[in-house]
Amino acid sequence: MLDKIKALPEKLAFAIGISLILFSPIVLFLLSFGKWTATIQAIVWGIIATLFILSAADKRHSHKNRNSNYVK
């Protein structure tokens, strides 16, 4: 699963992560199956969203390192 997340472009991975963080509470509120179920789902979605955002940040960080070593 991590390989598939890392294969996504940086901006798409960041957009998916932010979307999950912003819209998952709304979806969980509308589809609430119970207090504990919603809590567990929120934790799982939060972890997945964090993976997307960290993957995007890692790609962006590696691009900056690669470009800073360039000598004109």
Calpha distance 6→9 (Å, rounded):
8
pLDDT tens digits along 5-56: 788 888 998 999 999 999 988 888 887 778 888 888 889 999 999 999 999 8
Is residue 18 one of the residues assigned to a domain? yes
Is residue 34 one of the residues assigned to a domain? yes
Calpha distance 6→58 (Å, rounded):
9
Residue 72 pLDDT greater than 70, yes or no? no
Which range marks the domain in which residue 44 is found? 10-68
Nearest to 58, CA basis, from 19, 18, 13:
13
Q: Indicate whether this model's pTM tops 0.85.
A: no
Number of domains forming the structure of the chain:
1
Is residue 38 one of the residues assigned to a domain? yes
Residue 63 pLDDT greater than 80, yes or no? no
